[in-house]
Amino acid sequence: MIIRNCTAIVMAGGESRRMGQDKSNLILGDKSLLQTVAGTMEQIFPEVIISVRQLRPEMNWLQVCDLPAHRGPLAGLFAGLQKAETPWVFAVACDMPFIKPQVVNCLSCYRNDVEAVVPLVQGYPQPLAAFYAKESLGVVSEILYRKGKQSFRELLDQLKVYYVSEYQLREADPTLQSFRDLDTPEDLTSI
């Protein structure tokens, strides 16, 4: 099922310090992590945007760059929200190659009367596998441009959020593999 009123933003601008190399280019099977995640998003959304630190000419997808003064996933979300022409975006990390379309469709069902839909896994919010309303751009901008904490936690504290429980998520993904991310070389070799 295509979710027409939403754009996917694949976050691929991280420094990958724990992995020791750019995670987006790591190969899993016969594709890079970025190709895998973006390919899944193409099955669900009419447009996919890749959020990067700097433009990468080898990519065939539309790209947005973090502003030079701002780095990190919140800056990537800001750039993606600015570029998206839809009322919603779905932000997903490029190191989550197991995300299932059924999970994304499950999450999309909870977008009524909220500014974000965020899964909760083992009690922790998963802000990089979540829906954000375009109208949240102002709050994201406010957090980025002020001094102090610039985190997703700060953002979620200021938005009207629907948190989707593990119980609800397990209907779409019984093992919650969708939320397995690959942060270290050990994560990659344990597959």
Chain segment 130-183, per-residue pLDDT in tens: 999 999 999 999 998 886 667 899 999 999 999 999 999 999 999 999 998 765
Amino acid occupying residue 33: L
Q: Does the structure show a pLDDT above 50 at 19?
A: no
Q: Reduced to 3 states, what is the DSSP secondary structure of residue 154? A: helix
Query: Could you tell me what percent of the chain has a pLDDT over 90?
Result: 67
| Calpha distance 105→171 (Å, rounded) | 11
Domain locations along the chain: 6-189
Q: Tell me the backbone φ, ψ of residue 43, rounded to 5 degrees.
A: -75, -20
Q: Does the structure show a pLDDT above 70 at 52?
A: yes
CB 8 within 8 A of CB 39: no
Q: Tell me the backbone φ, ψ of residue 27, rounded to 5 degrees.
A: -95, 130
Q: Reduced to 3 states, what is the DSSP secondary structure of residue 67? A: coil
CA 120 to centroid of chain Cα atoms:
14
pTM: 0.91
* Superfamily, domain 6-189: Spore Coat Polysaccharide Biosynthesis Protein SpsA; Chain A (3.90.550.10)
Confidence grade of residue 20 (pLDDT, cut at 50, 70, 90): very low
Pick from 109, 110, 72: nearest CA to 93: 72
Query: Mean pLDDT for the chain?
Result: 88
Please spell the DSSP secondary structure of 39-86, one letter per residue: HHHHTT-S-EEEEESS--TT--SEEEE--TT--SHHHHHHHHHHH--S
Pick from 31, 186, 162: nearest CA to 94: 31
What pLDDT, on a 0 to 100 scale, did the predictor assign at position 58?
81
What pLDDT, on a 0 to 100 scale, did the predictor assign at position 188?
54
